[in-house]
Chain A
Amino acid sequence: MGVGIQVENLNAWYGKTQALHEINLNVQANHATALIGPSGCGKSTFIRCLNRMHETSPEARVEGKVRIGEYDAYEGTSATRLRRRIGMVFQKPNPFPTMSIYDNVAAGLKLNGYRDKKHLDEVVEKSLISSALWEEVKDSIHKKSGASLSGGQQQRLCIARALAVEPEVLLMDEPCSALDPISTGKIEELIFELKAQYTIVIVTHNMQQAARVAEFTGFFLLGRMIEFDKTEKIFTNPSDKRTEDYITGRFG
């Protein structure tokens, strides 16, 4: 089951540059929330602060509060432990090239010490089914490497890999921007189905995608969150002029 995310007064820096200013946001559990905005507006930085991936960048600094469900993401838990409860799918599909499909999906578990083969088999199958990839690869999960699949399949593999650790939240950073329309469509359908079990936050450049997939949308600009509301409101009658300028293409 998914959990909600509360963000209070989040600020983030890369060295001296401030990338996020006073972000306040509530992500509803078991819903999909989209984050839109022009390049460099901070939306990717924001979701990387949710699972503390921001810390892996050199000279990165974060201030503020992030609560994932019941617990604080920064106080009292290590980054690695937090990340096991939050799955992440990246812009460019990145399956581990030296591992088979099976090993890729099981990677999150195997690399964290789980060894029970039967349990792993079950989890791999379940995850591949959840990510709508099982039917296409079930006969070759041990033989084929992760990198030998097509782009859309690779991304679904990455989704399966993220789901295998049974996270509560799924973060997706422009998951379809490297894919063709048909693969994109499949993944959007997937997101729709996954909402029931997970809380999904998706960063996207594609406004039509945000409109298709998410119940809530947040508009980011220059490191600030300008508007956050139901998706229909944002796209039919936004409250802030800057939001409207962006979505009608009057921007830049």
Chain B
Amino acid sequence: MRSRFQQGLDELRQKLLRMGGLAEQAVDRACQAYLDRDLSRCQMVLEGETQINVSEREIDELAFDLLAMQQPMAVDLRFILAVTKINADLERVGDQAVNIAERVMDMVSLPAVDLPVDISRMAAAVSAMVRRALESFIEAKAELAQAVLEMDNVVDRMRDEAFIVLVKTMNEKPETTRQALDALLVARNLERVADHATNIAEDVIFWVRGADVRHNVPQEASGQEEPAQRAATETH
């Protein structure tokens, strides 16, 4: 096969995986910082943001080059398009991690308060979603991506519950309003991360099956099994 093109595809894949790792790490760090009230971890998240932004630009540039110079078709074209979209989502995930870190920094400056909301459970779920979405990309397996889509509802419910609980808390104990608000915002940020993970999963399905499953409207899928699977194994 056109070896320079194949090399370009491999490089794109590697870069995206690295960026995925960075984004996943940022979310995990931010959540851990919230749970441990750890300022140093917040600092690491903020500093890691630059790397993620640089990565986003590099990936877009490489994808653009490949599109312009190599006239990719079918599965290769879908792959590159999916990569550019996943790229954007990962950068957003990084942004959300920074938002969480900023909330944590505010929280730590205030006295600790016991809130009846289980952020750690939500954080675990969201983290799992991100990890699984990235796995589905590495393995080029649409079933893994499908599982991520299903988890989104769970996370949405968690956010809604947190909302109700925290509003009640703010009404009953107005002195904890600021901490509750911080927690609420963190919950919202986590839910946003889950949304981005869902997007990533949808993009993987698009790449692997040629089916556009966004907004819950499945279009014609390919008649054959997992063309991207073969492409992925070839890149190994």
Contacts and interface: CB of A to CB of B under 8 A. Distances in A.
B222 A249 contact: no
A236 B77 contact: yes
A250 B5 CA distance: 11
Given A236-B210, A240-B224, A241-B230, A248 B71 contact: no
Contact of B1 (A236, A244, A249): A249
B73 A247 contact: yes
A238 interface: yes
B5 A249 contact: yes
A227 to B, nearest CB: 10
Nearest to B225: A241
B224 A247 contact: no
Contact of A248 (B75, B222, B224): B75
B116 interface: no
Contacts of A235: 73-74
Give the most central of B72, B74, B76, B220: most A CB within 10 Å: B74
B8 interface: no
Contacts of A236: 73-74, 77-78, 210
Contacts of B48: none
Nearest to B223: A239
A169 B5 CA distance: 39
Interface in A217-252: 235-241, 244, 247-250
B227 interface: yes
Contacts of A248: 1, 72-76
Nearest to A233: B220
A207 interface: yes
B62 to A, nearest CB: 18
A163 B54 CA distance: 57
A185 B74 CA distance: 24
A217 to B, nearest CB: 12
Given A207-B73, A249-B5, A241 B227 contact: yes
Contacts of B173: none
Contacts of A207: 73
A235 B75 CA distance: 9
Interface string A196-218: 00000000000110000000000
A237 B76 contact: no
Give the most central of A207, A240, A250: most B CB within 10 Å: A250
A241 B224 contact: yes
Contacts of B227: 237, 241, 244
A250 B72 CA distance: 11
A237 B223 CA distance: 9
A249 B224 contact: no
B2 interface: yes
Contacts of A239: 222-224
Given A244-B75, A248-B73, A248-B74, A237 B1 contact: no
A250 B224 CA distance: 18
Nearest to B234: A250
Nearest to B230: A241
A248 B227 CA distance: 12
Interface of A: 207-208, 235-241, 244, 247-250
Query: Which 8 A-B residue pairs are closest in the complex by CB-CB distance?
Result: A237-B210, A247-B73, A239-B223, A250-B1, A237-B222, A249-B2, A248-B76, A244-B74
17 contacts: A235-B74, A236-B78, A236-B210, A237-B75, A237-B78, A237-B220, A237-B222, A237-B227, A238-B74, A239-B222, A239-B223, A239-B224, A241-B230, A244-B74, A248-B72, A248-B75, A250-B1
Given A236-B73, A237-B75, A248-B73, 16 more contacts: A207-B73, A235-B74, A236-B77, A237-B210, A237-B220, A237-B227, A238-B74, A239-B224, A244-B227, A247-B73, A247-B74, A248-B1, A248-B72, A248-B74, A249-B73, A250-B234
